Amino acid sequence: MVEVSRHDIIIVGGGAAGLRAAIAAAEADPSASIALVSKVYPMRSHTVSAEGGAAGVAREDDNFEMHGQDTVKGSDFLGDQDVIQYFVEQAPKELALLENWGCPWSRNDDGSVATRAFGGMTVKRTWYAADKVGFHMLHTLFQHSMQFENIVRYDEYFVSKLLVEDGACRGVAALDIRTGDMHAIVGRAVILATGGAGKIFPFTTNGMIKTGDGMALAYRAGVPLKDMEFVQYHPTGLPGTGILITEATRGEGGHLKNSEGERFLVEYDYGVGQKAELGPRDMISRASILEMEAGRGIQGSYGEYVHLDLTHLGEEKIMSRLPMVRELCKIYAGMDPVHQPIPVRPVVHYMMGGVDTDIDGATTLPGLYAAGEVACVSLNGANRLGSNSLTECLVFGARAGLHSLEFAKGSAAGSDDGLRAQAEEEAARVDALRGRKKGGEKIAAIRHEMTSAMESGCGVFRRQESMGAAVEALVQLKGRVSDLRLEDDSKVFNTEVIAALELHNMLDVAEVVAVSAHHRKESRGAHTCRDFERRDDQNYLYHTLCYHDPSGPRLDKKDVTLGRWEPVERKY
Amino acid sequence: MSESKKTFVITRFDPDKDEVPKTQEYEIPVHEDWKVLDAINFIKDEVDPTISHRWSCRMAVCGSCGMMVNGEPKLTCKTRLSDYGDRVIVEPLANFPVIRDLVSELDGFMEKFQAVKPWVIRAKEEAGAVSASNPPKSSKGTFVQSAAELAEFKQFSLCINCMLCYAACPVVANEPEFLGPAAIALGHRYNLDSRDQGLDERNEVFRGEGTVFSCSFANECSEVCPKNVDPAAAVNQAKFGAVIDWATSLVLPRPGASKEGGK
């Protein structure tokens, strides 16, 4: 029989958003029991890989209005302006809180917290801890969380289903990876904080674990995914591996160069104007691809690339501000950025879209919340500015933690028997999948076909035809995935069955991305369609919603919350 | 891209089926710029999907993929295959119980980690004179911390919890309860942080059995650390700190200092 454990709030995901939510709720009500459920130990969460920094107004020459305006413009006017206003006001408080908790932020000479320049930001407002910001934020949050006795961790539990009763989310079915047993972890509210879905693409900065699990869980429970067509390509990933080379390299003065040695963002008109290397990511990624198409890329064994030149910064600056970049280049590109330019190409980095939430993190399903990259609270619109997302995890993680706590206080607990029965059904589904020898399809093969379809259909530049082909390919693959063959029938730490569950999740998410992209017949932010090269506010100034339907994804619209910043042409 | 073949000898263990661990050999084509992890992932995807191992970031920061490679603890995502010959032996990290195949059990490690109170401890009452143990806050609500004060602990804050140091530590091998290099370095990191006031509480922990004084200073931990954290230095400094703190407390009882430890 499936074991049932009870808490007040269940948080799925142990990265920055999940930990911040857990701490907020645990601190606000020491009598509340908070379950923190993650498929990995929290310090392995992908927040760890973020490098460059976290944005929040800190300097005298900066203010909330400027941070807000930069974010709205960066979003290509698809960000919700009430959300953005709240975000910029909370950002410095959250970052200061992290400082109080021990985050080793880099410092100015007077001992105050230092800030650096970042793409699309008009002033230096990105807080940093050298170039290991995500690592330090994650470890600070995780270590700080350990003092709360009311945070109960479920490390290495894979959540495969949301438990819904009487129209409210009351828990999760979670597979204990170590034993292979299914558990019902039940309570009065659930927060999804599982991060993004970069692994639906072949070339990504994301770690192996970024398989869109939370997006798929919500989607299958009837909650719409929002703005999923907006996939951020980071301009500077290492060819081959896709390992991230932080935007802070450009914030610190690095230059992008083509095969002719030209700073192409300065020499040619790519819309970034005087900002040059400090332009937003969508524009710089497009510029890099166009340089390659114009024959000014450099050929390498992993395809074409451009150069990111840091050699003029000097060894001292690189070692104090960008030590990890140097380490990564040496290990994974076999070169030293102190002496040579770094080979880089645009790489899938971040999902602007996600589970549709309001400003409190609440979804359309009562009791279900989401925060961080898994969510789409509409801070980032069609293009996120670098260094806004780590802060987003803090601001909206905390808010979701507090609001879910309020919700939990007024919510019924749900029945043990009913929720157990649901988890038992889920256990049977996973049992049938484990060691399923009657199928004919290989996980790795379907995964490979999926990522290829996404790259050719939903890359930096898209065409109606290529997006349509991706949609068709995904429909096919979703049919084939029901015929998987699994070899591993052991219950103990069976990573094959986890990979199969993740593959199902990725296919759902990938299909939503392709369908949402195919429908948007304009170019806005990171969604660049060659058949419709201009932004079309008349017809497309809305959020795309995508609902799960037995007959396939169903699209709908949601208004953008505008405000003081009227949509104008986005020029830098 | 040039390819060659290598044979991987991988530890297999399923507690439901095996009494003791066994090995299985896989001969596969490898690329010259592969890391050890790339080869294990290739085997998992293309040859034998029943192998269990942990990994995620593949950029040496998440700390998941520590294993023994030819007998030495390595972070497999940053370990070049070209440094090895035709046969590469991959085993789970030494000095840890094994859950399955290459997957180690972390329960003990996580307990040790928590035992050093790895969070900023501050006295409840923060009002009063600014002093070395009560640094000022700026108008933004952040503590003032000089670059020199940051440098005091920065190195010890770089640990990714990959546990290679436990696999290398001769004391852990004989005394599994030993608090160990990473946990001691972490506690010491907070002790050195100008924002923290928890020195007494942590020194209480460090003076307990199986902690800093168990270290034989073999320095193996620092040699295998993939992030140059130098946990051996942290352990040595912590040892010194714990003694000094204890000795001074005998002659100079400090008002307000917590002697009990714990929360």
B63–chain A Cβ distance below 8 A for any pair: yes
**Looking at the DSSP assignment, which residues form a beta bridge with residue A192?**
A12, A370
pLDDT of B132 above 80? no
B198 CB-side CA count, 13 A: 25
B193/A102 Cβ within 8 A: yes
Q: In chain B, what are the domains? A: 3-104 (3.10.20.30), 107-251 (1.10.1060.10)
Query: CB A168: neighbour CB atoms within 10 A?
Result: 18
Mean pLDDT of B76-85: 97
Closest CA to A389 of A41, A12, A1, A15: A15
At A322 the pLDDT is 97
Question: For residues A200 and A509, what is the distance between their CA atoms, to the nearest angstrom?
Answer: 8
Among candidates B99, B140, B147 on the partner chain, residue whose Cβ is nearest the Cβ of A92: B140
B202 touching A, CB under 8 A? no
Interchain pair A241, B53: CB under 8 A:
no
Determine how β-strand B98-100 pairs with β-strand B103-104.
antiparallel
Q: What is the pLDDT of residues A155-208, one digit of tens each?
A: 999 999 999 999 999 999 999 999 999 999 999 999 999 999 999 999 999 999
Cβ <8 Å between A104 and B50: no
> Which pair of tokens denotes residue A247?
């935007």
What is the C-alpha to C-alpha distance for residues A382 and A392, in angstroms, rounded to an integer?
16
**Range B83-90 average pLDDT:** 98
Q: Which residues in A lie closer than 8 A to residue B158 (C-beta atoms)?
A: 132
Rounded CA separation A280/A71 (Å): 10
Q: Which two tokens stand for residue A440?
A: 């004919």
Q: Which two tokens stand for residue A254?
A: 């690095």
Per-residue model confidence (pLDDT) at position B247:
76
Residue with tokens 């407390």: B249
User: Side chain identity at A61, as an amino acid letter?
Assistant: D
Tell me if A206 sits within 8 A of A177, measured CB to CB.
no
Look at residue A69 and tell me whether its pLDDT is greater than 60: yes
pLDDT of residue B263: 31
Q: What is the average per-residue pLDDT within A424-437?
A: 97
Q: Is the pLDDT of residue A126 over 50?
A: yes
Token pair listed for A569: 């042409």
Amino acid at A310: L
Q: Please state which of the ranges B9-13, B140-144, B251-255 shows the lowest mean pLDDT.
A: B251-255
If you search the block for the tokens 């100079």, which residue do you land on? B252
Phi-psi region of A402 (alpha: psi -120 to 50; beta: other; left: phi over 0): alpha
Q: Which residue has the tokens 């911390």?
A: B145
Share of chain A above pLDDT 90, in %: 99
**Element at A450 (helix H, strand E):** helix A443-457
Q: Is A530 an interface residue toward B (CB < 8 Å)? A: no
Q: And the tokens for B52?
A: 């269990």
Q: Would you call A490 and B46 a contact, using CB atoms and an 8 Å cutoff?
A: no
* Nearest CA among A69, A81, A185, A197 for reference residue A123: A69
For residue B248, what pLDDT band results from cuts at 50, 70 and 90? Answer: confident
- Give Cα B163 to chain centroid, integer Å: 4
Q: Read off the pLDDT of residues A5-52 as tens digits, 9 standing for 90 and up.
A: 999 999 999 999 999 999 999 999 999 999 999 999 999 999 999 999
Task: Please answer whether residues A168 and A148 qualify as being in contact, where contact means their C-beta atoms are separated by less than 8 angstroms.
Answer: no
The DSSP 8-state label assigned to residue A224 in this structure reads P
| B130-150 b/e (C-beta count within 10 Å ≥ 16 → b) | eeeebbebeebebbbbeeebb
Amino acid type, A46: H
What does the alpha-carbon distance between residue A72 and residue A83 come to, in Å, rounded to a whole number?
A: 10
Q: Sorting pLDDT into bands at 50, 70 and 90, what band is B124?
A: low
* Domains observed in chain A: 236-347 (3.90.700.10), 433-540 (1.20.58.100)
Does A240 contact B at CB distance below 8 Å?
Answer: yes
Within the 282-341 window of chain A, which residues sit less than 8 Å (CB to CB) from chain B?
301, 324, 327-328, 331-332, 334
Residues of B in contact with A105 (CB under 8 A): 142
**Rounded CA separation B163/B145 (Å):** 30
Question: How far, CA to CA in Å, does A328 sit from each of A49, A238, A334, B171?
Answer: 12, 9, 9, 32
Cβ distance A198 to A206 under 8 Å?
Answer: yes
Rounded CA separation A348/A234 (Å): 6
Is beta strand B3-12 parallel, antiparallel or unpaired with respect to B22-31?
antiparallel
* Residue among B18, B52, B101 with most chain A CBs within 10 A, to mutate: B52
Residue with tokens 């970052």: A95
Question: Across residues A479-488, what is the average pLDDT?
Answer: 97
What is the spatial distance between Cα A448 and Cα A469, in angstroms, rounded to a whole number?
16
> Residues A304-317: what's their mean pLDDT?
98
| Residue-level pLDDT at B98 | 98
Interface mutation vs chain A, best among B41, B155, B157, B197, most A CBs within 10 Å: B157
Q: Rounded to the nearest 5°, which phi and psi values hold at A475?
A: -60, -45
What confidence score (pLDDT) does residue B245 get? 73
SS3 A74: helix
* Distance from C-alpha of A470 to C-alpha of A476, rounded to nearest angstrom: 10
In angstroms, the CA B154 to CA B142 distance is 18
How many CB atoms neighbour CB A5 within 10 A?
16
Which of chain B's residues have a Cβ under 8 Å away from the Cβ of A49?
Answer: 57, 59, 61-62
Residues contacting residue A102 through CB under 8 Å, at least 6 positions apart? A140, A143, A144, B119, B120, B190, B193, B195, B196
> What is chain A's alpha carbon radius of gyration, rounded to the nearest angstrom?
23
Positions of A marked active-site: 234, 250
| A159-168: pLDDT as tens digits | 999 999 999 9
**Alpha carbons A483 and A496: distance in angstroms, whole number:** 15
Mean pLDDT score, A533-549: 98
Q: What is the mean pLDDT of residues A272-295?
A: 97
| Whether A115 contacts A126, CB under 8 Å | yes
User: Residues with Cβ < 8 Å from A413, sequence gap 6 or more?
Assistant: A6, A170, A186, A187, A188
B114/A146 touch (CB, cutoff 8 Å), yes or no = yes
The whole-angstrom distance between residue B243's C-alpha and the CA centroid of its chain comes to 24
Phi, psi of B232 (to 5 degrees): -60, -40
Q: Tell me which residues of chain B, numbers 20 to 59, contact chain A at a CB-CB cutoff of 8 Å.
A: 33, 44-46, 48-50, 52-59
**pLDDT band at B255; cut points 50, 70, 90:** very low
> Which of residues 75 through 114 in chain B touch A, CB cutoff 8 A?
78, 99-101, 103, 106, 110, 113-114
What was the ipTM of the complex prediction? 0.97
pLDDT at B262: 34
How far apart are alpha carbons B121 and A269 in whole angstroms?
A: 53
Mean pLDDT of A206-213: 98
How many whole angstroms separate alpha carbon A56 and alpha carbon A93?
A: 8
Is the CA virtual torsion B94, B100, B101, B107 positive or negative? negative
Q: How far apart are CA A185 and CA B130, in angstroms?
A: 47
Residue type, A248: A
Per-residue pLDDT tens over the stretch A91-113 = 999 999 999 999 999 999 999 99
Contacts (Cβ under 8 Å, ≥6 apart) of B260 = B204
Structure tokens at B222: 């620092």
Query: Which chain A residues are within 8 Å of B44, Cβ to Cβ?
Result: 495
> From residue A314, how far is each of A307, A311, A326, B148 by CA, in Å?
17, 6, 12, 22
User: What is the model's pLDDT at position B197?
Assistant: 95
Rounded to an integer, the average pLDDT of B217-222 is: 94
Torsion angle of C-alpha atoms B208, B209, B211, B215, degrees rounded to 10 = 140
Over the Cα atoms of chain B, what is R_g? 22
The nearest CA of chain B is from the CA of A417 a distance in Å of 30
In this prediction, residue A275 has a pLDDT band, given cuts at 50, 70 and 90, of: very high
Q: What is the pLDDT of residues B146-167, one digit of tens each?
A: 999 999 999 999 999 999 999 9
Angle (nearest 5°) at CA A392 between A328 and A119: 55
Q: State the pLDDT at residue B129.
A: 56
pLDDT of residue B3: 73
